[in-house]
Chain A
Amino acid sequence: MGDSTGDTGSSMHGVSTDKTGKYDLPVDLEDRATVFKLFSFAKPHMRTFHLSWISFSTCFVSTFAAAPLVPIIRENLNLTKQDVGNAGVASVSGSIFSRLVMGAVCDLLGPRYGCAFLVMLSAPTVFSMSCVSGAAGFITVRFMIGFCLATFVSCQYWMSTMFTSKIIGLVNGTAAGWGNMGGGITQLLMPVVYEIIRRCGATAFTAWRIAFFVPGWLHIIMGILVLTLGQDLPGGNRKAVEKKGKVVQDKLGKIMWCAVSNYRTWIFVLLYGYSMGVELSTDNVIAEYFFDRFHLKLHTAGIIAASFGMANFFARPAGGYASDIAAKYFGMRGRLWALWIIQTAGGLFCVWLGLANTLVTAIVAMILFSLGAQAACGATFAIVPFVSRRSLGIISGLTGAGGNFGSGLTQLIFFSTSQFTTEQGLTWMGVMIVACTLPVMLIHFPQWGSMFRPPSTDPVKGTAEYYYVSEWNEEEKQKNMHQGSVAFAINAKSEDGRNAPSTITV
């Protein structure tokens, strides 16, 4: 019989304590899968993967659902360009805070409840969009819907309970990329739903309101599926799991200081703001841009805008994969170069997009820009796990929040005022991407080097072990709190490039 709570407050719903537990996939000592079987729905690992990315994607659908319908909404609510821009900023700002809170929620209630709570409690915000009657209401509702983007955190957290750390990069990258696809799906879905409702007889200004019920229902459906089909833990020996939960009793203050005092954290916050951030901004403006500039129909603009977000399907995992290949030959220096090249290329294509005068060039530029920006997201999170071992969670959270902050800032500067036309805004955003990617050159790991400097030859300070263990002070080392970092440093030898040992044993 299962107990009511397992590791760190997560529920034992669905967990079998049958120790002969046969899983569909091979597992490690903590019952986390060591293999990633994409087209399986088997309990519990792959089922969790699919529940997780689909609910994250649903939140992207509802957060950006207004964007392709703006040409109708702006007439109904008598919005100015500033109102439309401010609503876009609002839609990405809410989750800056909610993503930070979600980490704590996952620790207290577990990722299953974290995800379900957020998805079902944000359903009312989506439904309330149909009652909006002016700019203030529109901006407020978009702000509230935006909170649900914190499912990113529950998604990644849930994956790390289900999949072993060797493949967690690929798993998380795929889950995040497919989740982000929701921003593209919505650009197709909402105009089509709107058209259907219109043809059934509703007037334009009522049809868009009814259309918002669709993402609202998706929230409810996904919430119920997560509650009924999901489980926090793969199962297995509860005592072993509980014991592990007691080993790493680290202090929040120390972890925070460790994250905040590492300059690399802040460079990644900036970088992600100009890869993920510009992706979110573009999700908000691109459909309206194609509608206005090239005189297209609403659903045609939606199809084009959708291809921007849908590229995430392969672009983000591809970025992570490219980083892995660069690391194989050139180690961490290869990863840094790959990130700089991909993100800068994305920025240049964004400049081209703003300058494009014809529809075909604009579409080509947009697709190339999307590949660059999204692959850069994947490449960013291929490096972030190496910045710190002790504070990985917080650094990931800060980087993620940086993405939203960058998006809000970019929309505020370039897309909310009459100072720039949208095409000028896109061009300047591209310039800003290139400029804000330059700080990658400053990231230096003593053990692996940086883009222009080789690794340190100091026999003590130039080792991975020194780098990761120096996050702990003497007192903590005496309590053996740093052993995880030592093991991590050994595994991280893969970042030495061609000099890396071919097999790593712990």
Chain B
Amino acid sequence: MAIHKILFASLLICLLIQSSHAATKERLFSDLEKSALEVTATPSRVGEGVGVDKLSITWKVSSTATKEPEFKAIKVKLCYAPASQVDRPWRKTENELFKDKSCPHKISSWSYDPAMKAGQSFDYTLERDIPTGTYFVRAYAVDTKDHEVAFGQSTNEDKTTNLFSVQAISGRHKSLDIASVCFSVFSVVALLVFFVNEKRKAKIEQSE
């Protein structure tokens, strides 16, 4: 019974530790300064596919930004538009920043110093694991504690304008298809060979 008591006690301790951890993570998206950054994203070739298509992205600090002195780094991310979030709770937008799953794909990040107010412009080649969908680009400005303080995005607040679509790779290859057919045929043929062979052996034994 002593073991049971120890197990129960350690369970209680774990629960207490866990519950205390949870309290610190409540930074909200709605607290961030909106439109502190101006972001544009232009696809170079529409609908050709990932791994080939490029996005031309620019970001710069907006003249209306008030929290600019706090900026230490700029993180640029690829985000799902509402059309790609329907019936997909794993891409849901949440106000609590640590829970929000709408911007999972990192594009790039830049260390920020005040000389970079005029912004950056660069090309991003879409990664091969980006799924099919409709997207926009968002840039977060983070402070020294790596907490987001402001953001800007390439679409409007309702996420209805300037969206672009991406076509994913299928992941299929001819060699895979061929290998799969070969192994399948082998399995069926091996079974039939065994079966026929055994029946034949039995018939031979019977006639002896």
Which chain A residues have a beta carbon within 8 Å of chain B's beta carbons? 1-5, 11-13, 71, 74-76, 78, 80-82, 113, 116-117, 120-121, 123-124, 127-128, 130-131, 133, 203-206, 208-210, 213, 216-217, 219-220, 223-224, 227-228, 292, 357-361, 364, 418, 421-422
Residues on the B chain within 8 Å of A220, using CB: 183, 186-187, 190
The answer on a CB contact under 8 Å between B170 and A205 is yes
**With an 8 A cutoff between CB atoms, is B171 at the interface?**
yes
Question: Is the Cβ of A210 less than 8 Å from the Cβ of B176?
Answer: yes
Partner of B202, one of A11, A131, A208, A213: A11
Contact B180 A3 (CB under 8 A): no
Q: Which of B90, B172, B173, B205 contacts A71 (CB 8 A)?
A: B90
Top 8 nearest A-B pairs (CB, nearest first) are A205-B171, A4-B202, A124-B184, A80-B87, A75-B131, A358-B18, A123-B187, A127-B180
A76 neighbours in B (Cβ, 8 Å): 131, 168, 170-171
CB of B94 within 8 A of chain A?
no
CA of A359 to CA of B205 in the docked complex: distance in angstroms?
64
- B21 proximity list for chain A (CB < 8 A): 358
Alpha-carbon separation in the docked complex, A3 to B204 (Å): 10
User: How far apart are B112's CB and chain A's nearest CB, in angstroms?
Assistant: 27
Please report the number of residue pairs spanning A and B whose Cβ atoms sit closer than 8 angstroms: 133
Report if A292-B15 is in contact (Cβ < 8 Å); known contacts: A78-B131, A133-B172.
no
Q: Are the CB atoms of B129 and A206 closer together than 8 Å?
A: no
Asked whether, in the complex, the Cβ of A120 is within 8 Å of the Cβ of B190, the reply is: yes
Minimum C-beta distance from B7 to chain A (A): 10
Chain A proximity mask over B160-193: 1 for CB below 8 Å, otherwise 0: 0000000011111100110111011111101100
Chain B min CB distance to A7 (Å): 15
- Check if B22 sits within 8 Å of A123, measured CB to CB: no
Q: A80-B87, A133-B170 are in contact. Are A124 and B14 (CB under 8 A)?
A: no
Majority SS at the chain A contact face: helix
**A421 neighbours in B (Cβ, 8 Å):** 89
Decide: B129 and A75 in contact? CB cutoff 8 A: yes
Contact B171 A216, beta carbon cutoff 8 Å: no
Q: How many residues of B contact A (CB 8 A)?
A: 45
How far is A315 from B119 in the complex, measured between Cα atoms in Å? 61
Interchain Cβ contacts under 8 Å between A and B, 17 examples: A4-B206, A78-B132, A121-B187, A123-B184, A127-B184, A130-B176, A130-B177, A131-B172, A133-B170, A203-B129, A203-B169, A203-B171, A205-B168, A209-B176, A213-B183, A219-B187, A357-B22
Is there an interface contact between A361 and B88, defined as CB atoms closer than 8 Å?
Answer: no
Q: Which residues of A contact B19 (CB under 8 A)?
A: 358
Are B128 and A124 in contact, with the CB atoms below 8 A? Answer: no
Return B31 CB to nearest CB of chain A, in Å.
21
A71 CB contacts on chain B under 8 angstroms: 90
> In chain A, what residue has the closest Cβ to B84?
A78
Residue B157 lies at the interface, judged by CB distance under 8 Å to chain A: no
The distance in angstroms between the C-alpha atoms of A217 and B14, with both chains bound, is 42
Bound together, the chains give a CA A175 to CA B190 distance in angstroms of 27
B133 part of interface (Cβ distance < 8 Å): yes
Contact B202–A3 (Cβ < 8 Å): yes
Contact B172 A209 (CB under 8 A): yes
Chain A residue with the shortest CB-CB distance to B171: A205
Residues of A within 8 A of B131 (CB): 75-76, 78
Residues of chain B touching chain A, judged by Cβ–Cβ distance below 8 Å, are 11, 14-15, 18-19, 21-22, 86-90, 128-129, 131-133, 168-173, 176-177, 179-181, 183-188, 190-191, 194-195, 198-199, 202-203, 205-206, 208
Contact of A208 with B205 at beta-carbon distance under 8 Å, contacts A74-B90, A82-B87 already known: no
Cα distance A205–B51 when bound, in Å? 13
Shortest CB-to-CB span from B147 to chain A, Å, is 17
Which of A208, A210, A217, A357 contacts B183 (CB under 8 A)? A217
A80 to B186, CA, bound (A): 35
A223 to B89, CA, bound (A): 40
Chain A residues within 8 Å of B22, by CB: 357-358
**B171 lies within 8 A of A292 (CB):** no
Cβ–Cβ contact A130 & B180, under 8 A:
yes
Chain B residues whose CB sits within 8 angstroms of the CB of A1 once the complex forms: 205, 208
Tell me whether B191 and A116 are in contact (CB under 8 A): yes
| Pairwise interchain contact B87-A81, C-beta atoms closer than 8 A | yes
Q: Chain A residues near B11: list those with CB within 8 A.
A: 364
Instruction: Tell me the smallest distance from the CB of B184 to a CB of chain A, in Å.
Output: 3
A81 to B183, CA, bound (A): 32
Known: A131-B180, A209-B172. A418 touches B87 (CB 8 A): yes
CA distance A123 to B183 in the complex (A): 8
What's the Cα separation between A208 and B169 when bound, in Å? 13
B19 shortest CB reach to chain A, Å = 7
Residues of A within 8 A of B206 (CB): 3-4
Contact of B199 among A4, A117, A361 (CB under 8 A): A4
Tell me, rounded to whole Å, the shortest Cβ–Cβ distance linking A282 to chain B: 18
Q: Apart from A227-B191, A360-B15, what 8 extra A-B contacts exist at CB < 8 Å?
A: A4-B206, A80-B87, A81-B88, A113-B195, A204-B128, A205-B170, A358-B22, A364-B11
How far is B22's CA from A209's CA once the two chains are assembled, in angstroms? 37
State the CA gap A210–B186 with chains docked (Å). 18
Residue of A nearest to B195 (CB): A113
What residues of chain B lie closer than 8 Å to A210, measured between beta carbons?
176
Q: B173 near A204 (CB under 8 angstroms)?
A: no
Asked whether A223 lies within 8 Å of B183 as measured between CB atoms, the reply is: no
Are A205 and B187 touching (Cβ within 8 A)? no
